Chain A
């Protein structure tokens, strides 16, 4: 299993800049809707429940579990050549929102609901992005 990171730069736009900045400090942010109170991932500009864009950043506790995953033996993106097999998947924060993430866990250990913890990953231009290992 490869835990190496690919050589990919991630460009960040203003709306989601707080998420990536916090991640660089080891903090996961999600958005709380001021209108209905529900939680939504930073991936979306509007509340997934009511559609409001009046969202406020909130720090996640860091507790998270594995929802689903795929193990890739043959990469389709050239930046992953030599990095296979690797795991990518969806992680669920205790507060509800999901994150797409690189999963730094061996194939045999993967299980639904497995507790996972943030491990820093950094893109080639310095942008922090979510990778999770065993909790």
Chain B
């Protein structure tokens, strides 16, 4: 994952599913469900992947797209499909290859300005709102306006995550980062600095979902899905708007916690979708780890970092490790639950809360995981 060139999204996806099956100790032919999430960089990936994998008959096969919320959304669907008996073993995957050698990350991902300038889309483009980062900047600035959140507080999220990334051999960015480094990094869209923004990465991740009974007998210690929820919320565009202030995380998180029969205070570790540092702050608020508006102050003591009170994005997240949409937080949660975190392993990991966020804070998915029982 990361700056890996010369391979397509389908190549990454094929590789990820094969590796995940081998890791789980199942044959490829045991897979009877395929849920595919593709990024926006390389659109070549589709359900034809089944032919490369030699999966001639599948009970379930779909592309699913809730943007950055897809991984968490998929975990819910896969769990339901297995529970209802529609499938027994589902491979959920993400792969993308937006990076091309010699092109900047911005050039790889700068699609928004290419929309046709018609009506208000035209107004937005002519006004200069021509990238996703600019829209997140508007959201972050509104949070700052309303609650007094500061750029330094956003920066602390980046610093804490970089400290985790230093311990992750797969992370793209492992050089130590200070708050001053964050403040000195160029403004991509004020108030968001370069170090507030996620990376752009090539790669793939696959997760195998099966029944608890089956998982117990496989090679790896299983990870149980305790709860999930999704909420898709588009705020109004007028004085009653919650834009930048509250997201679908509030309801999706509550649904997942309720299903798991736990509360936010019980959670040991968090893997939060971090397209921007700001996204982590607002998700912490919406999940109820702190009061609304206090997210900035909440993260400013470094509690998200190694040794902190609330370990969060323990692999470095998408800010410092790799941008695999919701599969970055999901895969790190699984690594931690299994105890495979190496130097970054968190001791207390009974309850892990995972988030996915897509669009401009429009789609949210939550998954709650716990280390499962193994007979091996």
Contacts and interface: CB of A to CB of B under 8 A. Distances in A.
A63 interface: no
B128 A86 contact: yes
A61 interface: no
B134 A123 contact: no
A16 B127 CA distance: 17
A71 interface: yes
Contact of A88 (B134, B145, B188): B134
A86 B113 CA distance: 16
B141 A98 contact: no
Contact of B123 (A10, A40, A89): A10
A79 B137 CA distance: 20
Contacts of B124: 100
Contacts of B146: 112
A92 B238 CA distance: 7
Given A67-B142, A97-B237, A11 B188 contact: no
Contacts, number: 138
A77 interface: yes
A92 B186 CA distance: 29
B139 to A, nearest CB: 8
A68 interface: yes
B241 interface: yes
Q: Which of B123, B124, B188, B244 has the most CB of A within 10 A?
A: B123
Nearest to B129: A88
Interface string A110-135: 00100000000101000101110000
B117 interface: yes
A89 B138 contact: yes
Contacts of B117: 8-11, 123
Nearest to A128: B123
Given A68-B244, A88-B127, A88-B129, A11 B138 contact: no
B126 A123 contact: yes
A6 interface: yes
A96 B238 CA distance: 5
Nearest to B143: A68
A101 B241 CA distance: 17
B129 A100 contact: yes
Interface in A75-105: 75-77, 80, 83, 86-90, 92, 96-102
B27 interface: no
Interface in B316-369: none
Contacts of B116: 11
B118 A75 contact: no
A52 interface: no
A74 interface: yes
A35 interface: no
Given A10-B117, A10-B123, A98-B237, A73 B190 contact: yes
15 contacts: A5-B126, A8-B125, A44-B237, A49-B236, A68-B138, A72-B128, A77-B125, A80-B128, A88-B128, A98-B238, A112-B145, A121-B126, A123-B126, A129-B122, A129-B126
Given A74-B186, A77-B113, A80-B130, 5 more contacts: A42-B120, A48-B236, A92-B238, A100-B129, A129-B122
